[in-house]
Amino acid sequence: MSRFLTIGLFSVAGLALSSTSAMALTQSAQFNSVGPKQDVTITLNAGANTQNVAAGLMNWTSTGGGIKGGAEQFKTFCIEVDQNIGGGNIVTFNVVAPELAPNTAPAGVIKAALLSELYGRFFAGLVSGNNQQHAAFQLAVWEIVYDNGVSLSADSFQVTSAPTGTAALAQSWLDALNGTGPMIVLSALTHPTRQDQLVPFSVIPTPGAMAVLGLGGLVATRRRR
């Protein structure tokens, strides 16, 4: 059984749903570690690609750019599990609106809105050092980015193994997304060959997802199959 979200958007026809005209920004940063985290097994493409990965918070040191100045610390969640970073590597990212990431398969405005609600509802409540909560949040992010539904056990992205309770926690957060919760404006960091990342603040205009959220006409209805 999988659950799909159909988002009803009122009076959207006149919106500019692309952020390509936003001023180009870059952010260079050194990847330090993943943590808090848990090791999980996931599949992509409905089981065709199985991976054992660390799911959790990504920790960075800025080396300069549009988000953080040199030597500042910041944290992200991954939105491109089928690429990697490598500890100690310095990466120069493009900073874009979340609907334009990951650059290999852009999420689009509806998934960007779901990500904004996920952050708005649950990000502030993540307890520092709690491995399960941070792993669950990463699983929920991946589910939104890779699927058109919100089931961790169906469709393209699936969790096949995780510590007890982690997938259930992630699923409970996904089940709560209905378009009525608090939202946080997000930005994405993209790179052609390195993992794209999501950051919980905006440094560029986002006329796509956040314009839709500002309409007050975002209605989510669910159907089961």
- Structural domain of 108: 26-224
Residue 214 has pLDDT above 80, yes or no: no
Mean predicted confidence (pLDDT) in 127-150? 97
Residue 91 within any structural domain of the chain: yes
Residue 186 within any structural domain of the chain: yes
CA distance 7 to 111: 10
Whether residue 101 contacts residue 86, with contact meaning beta carbons closer than 8 Å, is answered with no
CA max distance for the chain: 50
Tokens found for residue 188: 């994405």
Residue 15 within any structural domain of the chain: no
CA distance 162 to 116: 25
Model confidence over 13-61: pLDDT tens digits? 223 333 333 457 999 999 999 999 999 999 998 778 999 999 999 999 9
Residue 64 within any structural domain of the chain: yes
CA distance 77 to 58: 6
Query: How much of the chain, in percent, has pLDDT values that exceed 90?
Result: 68
Residue 3 within any structural domain of the chain: no
Tokens found for residue 123: 């990000």
Radius of gyration of the chain from its Cα atoms, rounded to whole angstroms: 17
DSSP-assigned beta bridge partners for residue 122: none
User: What's the pLDDT score for residue 2?
Assistant: 42
User: What's the pLDDT score for residue 46?
Assistant: 72
Question: pLDDT confidence of 86, banded at 50, 70, 90?
Answer: confident
User: What's the pLDDT score for residue 14?
Assistant: 28
Tally of domains within the chain: 1
Looking only at the bridges linking them, the beta strands covering 197-199 and 158-161 are: unpaired
| Helix, strand, or coil (residue 169) | helix
| Helix, strand, or coil (residue 40) | strand
CA distance 205 to 140: 25
Q: Is the peptide bond before 106 cis (omega within 30 degrees of 0)?
A: no
Residue 11 within any structural domain of the chain: no
Residue 4 within any structural domain of the chain: no
Q: Kindly report the number of other CB atoms within 10 A of residue 20's CB atom.
A: 11
Model confidence over 106-136: pLDDT tens digits? 999 999 999 999 999 999 999 999 999 999 9
Residue 17 within any structural domain of the chain: no
User: What's the pLDDT score for residue 23?
Assistant: 58
Residue 71 has pLDDT above 60, yes or no: yes
